Amino acid sequence: MEDAKIQQSEGNQQERFPSVITTDDLVFELGKDVIDKLNKEKLLNSLLKKSKALEEQLEQLKAIPQKLEELQASNKLYEKKNRELGDELTKVRQESNTKTRELSAENKKLSDELITIQQDLDEKVKEVKKLSTKNRTTTPKKSASKSN
C-alpha cells in the first residue's frame, strides 16, 4: 500500500466530481475555523477581564454596608455631641445675658451715684467760692492789720 498524497489536480476534477474537496476548500475551511477560534479566545479573554473587574466592584460593594454602619454610628455620636454643645452654648448665652443685665443695672446705679456726687461737689464748690468771695471782701482789712 502506498501513502496517500494530496495533489493539486485540474479544475476539471471539481466539475467531474462535484463532491470532491480541493485543497483550497480545505485551507479555506481550516482558516475559517482558526479565525473563529481566535475570535472566541479574544472574546473569552475580554469577558474574563470584565468578570474580574466586576468581582472587584462586588467586593467593594460588599464593604459599603459596614462603612455605612460605621458612618451612621459616628454621625450619631456627632449629633449627641452637637446637642450637648448646643445646650451648653444656650446656657452660656443665658448666663451672659443675665450678667449683662446685672452689670447694666449696676452701671446705671453707679452712674446715678456719680451724677449725684458730681452735683454735690458742684454745690460744695459754689459754696466754697461764695465763702471765698465773702472772705476776700471782708478779709483784706484784717489781712492788712495782721501784716503790720
- Return the pLDDT at 15: 62
**Residue range(s) defining the domain that contains residue 89:** 20-134
**Average pLDDT for runs of 10 along the chain of length 148:** 60 62 87 95 96 93 90 94 95 94 92 94 91 75 50
- Return the pLDDT at 23: 85
- Return the pLDDT at 103: 92
> Does residue 119 sit within a domain?
yes
> Does residue 11 sit within a domain?
no
DSSP the chain: -PPP------THHHHH-TTPPPHHHHHHHHHHHHHHHHHHHHHHHHHHHHHHHHHHHHHHHHHHHHHHHHHHHHHHHHHHHHHHHHHHHHHHHHHHHHHHHHHHHHHHHHHHHHHHHHHHHHHHHHHHHHHHHHHHHHHHHHHHHHH-
Give the C-alpha separation, 39 to 28, whole Å. Answer: 16
> Does residue 61 sit within a domain?
yes
> Does residue 4 sit within a domain?
no
What is the number of structural domains in the chain? 1
Give the C-alpha separation, 72 to 69, whole Å. Answer: 5
> Does residue 13 sit within a domain?
no
Is the pTM higher than 0.75? The answer reads: no
> Does residue 26 sit within a domain?
yes
- Return the pLDDT at 10: 54
> Does residue 108 sit within a domain?
yes
